[in-house]
A = this chain, B = another copy of it.
Amino acid sequence: MSGSSLPTLYGRLKRLAAENVAGLNVAELLFEITDRSLLLLTAECEQVSLISEVPGKEYVAFKIGTQLSRPVNRASFIPSREEMTRRWTSFNPRGLTAMSVDQATNTIYTLAMSFCAANDVLKSGDKQTPGRYFEILNAHIFANAFAVSPRREIDVLHVDDDPATLPTDYIFDLGAERPKFHVPVKTSTRERVIQVWAHQRVLNGVYGENRYVGMLVVLNETKLDRRTLRVIEICLPEQWKLYQRFIARLERIYYLDPPQAYLGLTGFPQITVKKLGEFFVERAQLIEGQF
């Protein structure tokens, strides 16, 4: 393991991901960043128990001086560097099938959250770095799972004007006879989530209904009050139903720390919310277009 700092390692990750986000060197670097982050969090930070107002979930935060990390779900987080090193040997992002749903979910949760929390205590108020890191992590996993590299824009045919391109979230195009997946990746959604449905609507308009299959990936929906140390989840299930009815249809919404308010969505319209680990169980069917 090199002696490089976390910002240096993150800079290297962005460069490697720009070359080939599916590469084995990206996976190695993700685990190295995680190991370095866990070292910082467990050896140099104070651990603060938070007051969880989310039924059934416990949250902690990590602290150096006055710098406090985002809330970390205690049951999903793997603080042991040794355990995460062991999981490296069974981390095959094409399948992750050697792991149970919870093992896969928690492994990816820890790959995401360890760096996000470490970055929080190193750089106050930086939302861009965790967001970009989480995108790269998921682009790596889905690029391997779908065996195709993602794109970030698609062509739009104009009838009279010049052709234009539409910037998009990740697009995984599996080829002529297979689904194309539209995979927005967000650390949290809140009221901004309407953008995801709206982009899906534009894709449906340009290419026909659900030619691109919408599959949203989210880290969590927690919000920490730094004064009272209370953690809540911000969920808008009634608004999701309106978006799913009136804007477009998202086929799957995967969470690493799924809110019960979304897992429990029933009735019309159907909105299928799952732990991200479930993706690896249903991957083969999804690739065949069976949702």
Contact = CB atoms under 8 A, between A and B. Distances in A.
Interface residues of A, number: 28
Given A201-B247, A247-B201, A267-B161, A242 B156 contact: yes
Contacts of A245: 205
A268 B160 contact: yes
B166 A206 contact: no
B166 A242 contact: yes
A232 interface: no
Interface string A195-225: 1011101101110000000000000000000
Given A197-B198, A238-B164, A239-B166, A206 B156 contact: no
Contacts of A198: 194-195, 197-198, 201, 243, 247
A156, A246, A268: residue with the most chain B Cβ atoms closer than 10 Å: A246
Interface string A152-172: 000010011100101100000
Which 5 A-B pairs have CB atoms at the shortest separation, nearest pair first? A205-B246, A198-B198, A164-B238, A194-B198, A202-B246
Nearest to A165: B238
A143 B280 CA distance: 54
28 contacts: A159-B268, A160-B267, A160-B268, A164-B238, A164-B241, A166-B239, A166-B242, A167-B239, A192-B195, A194-B198, A195-B195, A195-B198, A197-B198, A198-B201, A198-B243, A198-B247, A201-B201, A201-B246, A202-B242, A202-B243, A202-B246, A202-B247, A204-B246, A205-B245, A205-B246, A205-B247, A206-B242, A247-B247
A156, A164, A202: residue with the most chain B Cβ atoms closer than 10 Å: A202
Contacts of A205: 242, 245-247
A239 B199 CA distance: 11
A83 B199 CA distance: 46
A242 B201 CA distance: 10
A197 to B, nearest CB: 6
Contact of A195 (B194, B201, B202, B246): B194
Interface string A227-251: 0000000000011011101110000
